Amino acid sequence: MKKGRTLVLALALVAGSQAAALAQSALIDGQVTKVDSSAGKITIKHGPIRKLGMDVGMTMVFRAQDPGMLKAVKAGDRVKFDAADVNGQLTVTTIEKRK
């Protein structure tokens, strides 16, 4: 009984850390070059994003999914982010500062 519970807990921990690792590796490296809070837009210099058809890096403007996320970053910050095509608009769905 006790042994079984320990095993379940160990498996849950492994599954959790793998999910975190996957989420981490899915993020795109970039550097913020401009934040336009009033327009809800952010300019990011980024590497290839194959899922969005960008095979080479570039500097481009994204819409922010949530305008609040633009308060957490500023021009010059190195970031990890994710982006998606939302109704034809390239949109940053998550962004965090890189350490």
**CB-nearer residue toward Cu ion: 19 or 36:** 36
Contacting residues for 43 by C-beta, under 8 A, at least 6 apart: 32, 33, 34, 35, 36, 59, 60, 61, 62
* Closest CB to Cu ion: residue number: 60
CB of residue 46 to Cu ion, shortest distance in Å: 6
**CB-nearer residue toward Cu ion: 27 or 60:** 60
CB of residue 48 to Cu ion, shortest distance in Å: 9
**CB-nearer residue toward Cu ion: 51 or 97:** 51
Question: In which residue are the tokens 């994003």 written?
Answer: 49
* Residues at the contact surface with Cu ion, assessed by CB under 5 A: 54, 58, 60
CB of residue 91 to Cu ion, shortest distance in Å: 12
- How far is it, in rounded angstroms, from Cα 40 to Cα 17? 33
- How far is it, in rounded angstroms, from Cα 19 to Cα 91? 23
